Amino acid sequence: MTFQLILLVLYSIGIVVLGLVLSRRTQGAGEFLVAGRSLGPGLVCATLLAANIGAGSTVGATGIGYQIGLSAWWWVGSAGIGSLILANTVGPKIWEIARDHDLRTMGDFLDLRYNRTVRGLIAALIWIGTLAILAGQLIAISRILEIVVGLPKWQGALAGGVVVIAYFAAGGFATAARVNAVQLVFMASGFLIALPYALGASGGWEALGMTLAQTRDASYLSPTGAGVRTILGYLVILVPSFIVSPGLIQKVYGARSRRAVRVGVNLNAAGLLVFAFVPAILGMIAYANFPDLADPELALPQVMVGLLPSWIGLLALAAILSAELSTCDAILFMLSTSLGVDLYQRFIDPDASEKRLLGVSRAAAIAGGVLGILIALVLPSIIAALTVFYGLLAVALFVPTLAGLYSSKPQAGPTVETILLSVLVTVVVYLVTAGSGIGILTPYAIGILAAAAWMLIRTVPRPGSARPFRE
């Protein structure tokens, strides 16, 4: 066992122990699901930022930077743009509704504004997509362990899954939010130290640009070099997803006030917009130094191991591991609430006690973690896994959520039609065009446009009949 592996194992054990200690505070489903609605701006920011900086934002985004250069900023930057919109529109509004009606999940909101059919349909779709994104995080962990100690993919995915299941299933959101704050410290310090050292090892920014100019064209160093279609594709998938993601909305529910929502989510957005440069530049550094990597998603761990002093590389690896683990617990949060509240309590046992609901939610987190490990062994890459999740989320949930918030009389029937139609259109366009879409519009963009058009056709009020929605 290598020194690096020993320290990573000790770090993982420390995270689990911290989670188990904090889980003693979790006495009921309210603590497990929404942290007792007690989080201030700092913890709201920490738990959101820790969840949002995960496999896609680190290992995946660095792989994109390795391939397309500085315009990889748009992958994480799109998430920051979506978070800005969440902070100043949807977030505070849906928090007030959740407080007034004791909502605990996105499904609770959909049930309140539509009916349980919409709730059940979205919950089922979320489960399918969420398992894919969990697999993506576990693939990222396996990439790290593959570079550091040569572990095969299945062993790395299994190790990461066991760690996150252990601390999240014990205490849920109340525990995860506080563990996330610790993980965020490791993430911030690791990347803030690693980036300048890696850039220095490449001779500085000017030298890096000269090296890349010999092998890549000028677009590689441009923030818009990937082209309109690629950038639009990131915006269409990620901006809506980071506005209406059930995991992020349910973290918003945990805030103690409207101000905590606005301040905390805005701070998270600012962090994402700045952090977006980090993986893009690290990817470029990786290409300049290791241009023949067989898999672009090995770029980040290769930089950490091959370019940095051992102590900095180890800190950076701990930062990456923290990023993946914190996102994994956010995903288990979605899985446990979707199954425990949206499906089990709503359709199977409406009179379930708090104790029973807590037990079911914990079991759902464990089951979801196990399934995520199995799927990680099948999916080929992190970005492939995340695209499944974000695409499904944006297409199926974005229009119904906005209609539920801002329409005076949201209707369940047209909403079910909208969800089914949007998913069907997306799948058909994807298959017919081999994933390329039509013109600059990706299959996901066409699916969202189809959803918006159908919802307007089916629900547009007659002149003078609309009233602003008030709770």
CA distance 450 to 27: 44
Same domain, 176 and 142: yes
Report the percent of the chain where pLDDT is more than 90.
34
Q: Is residue 420 part of a domain?
A: yes
Tokens of 178: 């506080």
Count structural domains, the chain.
2
Give residue 469's pLDDT.
41
Same domain, 372 and 412: no
Most confident listed range (270-279, 376-385, 454-463) = 270-279
CA distance 113 to 353: 24
Contacts of 248 (CB under 8 A, 6+ apart): 48, 51, 52, 86, 242, 330
Same domain, 376 and 411: no
Structural contact between residues 346 and 116, judged by C-beta atoms closer than 8 angstroms: yes
Range of the domain at 270: 3-382
Q: Is 290 helix (H, G, I), strand (E, B) or coil?
A: coil
Averaged pLDDT score across all residues of the chain: 82
Q: What is the dihedral of CA 21, 27, 32, 34, to 10 degrees?
A: -120
pLDDT class for 188, splitting at 50, 70, 90?
A: confident
Q: Is residue 258 part of a domain?
A: yes
Same domain, 291 and 257: yes
Q: Is residue 469 part of a domain?
A: no
Give residue 243's pLDDT.
94
Assess whether pLDDT exceeds 60 at residue 432.
yes
Structural contact between residues 424 and 270, judged by C-beta atoms closer than 8 angstroms: no
CA distance 285 to 371: 35
Q: Is residue 70 part of a domain?
A: yes
CA distance 274 to 83: 13
